[in-house]
Amino acid sequence: MRGWTLVEKLSFLMGGEGKSPEEERLMQLFQNRAGLKKAYADLKDEVHLLHDRLKQQEGATIRVQEQLDALGELLGDPQTGLGALVFYQLRALWKSCHQQLAAFAAELTRQQEAREVEKHKTDMLAIQGNRLAEVEDRLRSAAAHADEQRSLLTDAQAELTRLTAFWHYFKRRGLQKQLETLRNQVLVADAAVGDLHAERSAIENEPLAEFPGISLSARRNINLAVIGYAELLCEQVDEFALTARAKEAVARRVHEMNFGSREDCDSYMQRVQKALTAIGNHKQVTGAVKVKLDRLRSTSQYRNSADTVPSAESLMAVPPPGDSGNGSQPIPAAAWNVLAEDYWDVYTLLLR
C-alpha cells in the first residue's frame, strides 16, 4: 500500500464496498480535513506573497517620501526654489509637446484608417459582385441547358404517346430507353442548377474579409508627418531657447540642474509660458507640416522593405547641392533630428 493516501488506506481497511453510514461519515471527514489543509497551505502562500508585496510597496513609499522631502527642501530654499519651479515647468512643456504630437498622430491614424476601411469594403464588395456575376452567367447557362433537356424529354414522351400501333413495338422500346436517358440528364441538369443556386446564396451570405490594417505606405507617411510636426515643435519652442533645456530637464533630476539667478529663473518661466502659447496655436500647422513631409519623403531611408520608421541617419541635416556644409551658406534642412534625440518621446507615437 506504499504511495496510498490516508483516505485510500482507510477505504481499503474498511472493505471498500458496503460501508456503514458511520464509516461513510468518517471518510467524508477525512476528505474534508485534507481539503482544508490544502486550502490553508494555499492561504499561507498567498499571505507570504502579499507580505512581500507590502514590503516592496513600503520601500517604494519611503523612496517617494524621500523625493518629496528633497523637493520640499529645494522649494523651501530661496536659492533653489525658483530653479525647481523652472525644472518642472520645462517638464510640463515637454509633456505638452508630447500630447500635441499624440493627438496629431491619433487624428491622422483615425482619418487614414477610415479611408482605407471604406476602400477595403468597396474592393471586397466589387470582388463579391464579380464572383456573383460569374455565378449568374453559369446559372443562366445551366438553367437553359436544363430547360433544353426537359423539352427533349417532353417531346420524347409525346412521341411515345403517339406510337400506339402494334408495329411500333420495337420503336417504342427504343424510345423508352431514350426516355430513361433523358430523365437522368434532366436530373443531372436540375442538380447543377441547384448547386449553382446554393453557390450564389453562399457568396451573398459570405462575410467580407476583415480589414488587414493600415497599409505600409500609409503608416510610413503618418510617421513622417509626426516626425515633421515634432521638428516644427522643436523650432517653435527653440524660438524661446528652450528646446535643449526641456530635453535636459526630462533626462536629469531636479537637483542636478541650475537655472541661474532669480532674474534668470523668472525669464525661463516667462519663456515657458510663451512657448506653451505658441505650440497651442494650430494656425498654419498643416501647411508647415506638409512642407516638412515633402522633404522627409525625399530623404528618408528604411532598413528593410517592411520597416515603417526611417533610419535616424537618413534624416540628418544635409548641405545644399554644391556646398560642403562648412561654407557661409546655412543648411536648409531640419536642425533637429528628432529621431536621433527622441524629442517629445516621438518614438512612442510612431506606427510599427
Helix (H, G, I), strand (E, B) or coil at 305: coil
pLDDT of residue 124: 93
* Rg from Cα positions in the chain: 41
What pLDDT, on a 0 to 100 scale, did the predictor assign at position 75?
Answer: 59
**Mean of pLDDT over the chain:** 83
Q: How confident is the model at residue 67 (pLDDT cuts 50, 70, 90)?
A: low
* Cell numbers found for residue 85: 519651479
Closest by Cα among 263, 257, 273, 271 to 80: 257
Q: Is residue 228 within 8 Å of residue 104, measured between CB atoms?
A: no
Mind listing the pLDDT tens digit for each residue in 40-62?
888 888 888 888 888 888 787 77
CATH of 123-205, one of 1.10.287, 2.60.120, 2.30.30, 1.10.3210: 1.10.287
Condensed to tens digits (0 to 9), the pLDDT of residues 274-319 reads 999 999 888 878 888 999 999 999 989 999 999 999 998 888 754 4
Report the alpha-carbon distance of residue 246 to residue 237 in Å, rounded: 9
Contacts of 242 (CB under 8 A, 6+ apart): 90, 93, 268, 271, 272, 275
Judged against a pLDDT cut of 80, whether residue 347 lies above it is answered with: yes
Look at residue 70 in the predicted model and tell me its pLDDT: 58
* Domain extents in the chain: 1-52, 78-102+215-349, 123-205
Residues 27 and 10 sit within 8 Å (Cβ to Cβ): yes
pLDDT per residue as tens digits for the range 146-191 = 899 888 888 878 877 787 777 777 777 777 788 888 888 889 988 9
- Determine the average pLDDT of the residues in 232-256: 91
pLDDT of 74 reads 58
Q: How confident is the model at residue 239 (pLDDT cuts 50, 70, 90)?
A: very high
245-278: burial string, b at 16+ Cβ within 10 Å, e else: bbbebbeeebeebebeeeeebebbbebbeebbee
The pLDDT confidence band at residue 71, using thresholds 50, 70 and 90, is low
Write the single-letter amino acid at 319: P
Specify the pTM: 0.69
* pLDDT of 89: 92
Q: What is the pLDDT of residue 326?
A: 43
Give CA angle at 248 (243, 249), nearest 5°: 100
CB-facing half-sphere around the CA of 148: CA atoms within 13 A: 7
Nearest C-alpha neighbor of 97 from the set 343, 350, 348: 343
Which of these, 331, 352, 348, lies nearest to 339 by C-alpha position? 348
Higher pLDDT, 81 or 134: 134
Q: How many CB atoms lie within 10 A of CB 58?
A: 10
pLDDT bracket for residue 250 (50, 70, 90): very high
Do residues 240 and 58 make contact, with C-beta atoms less than 8 angstroms apart? no
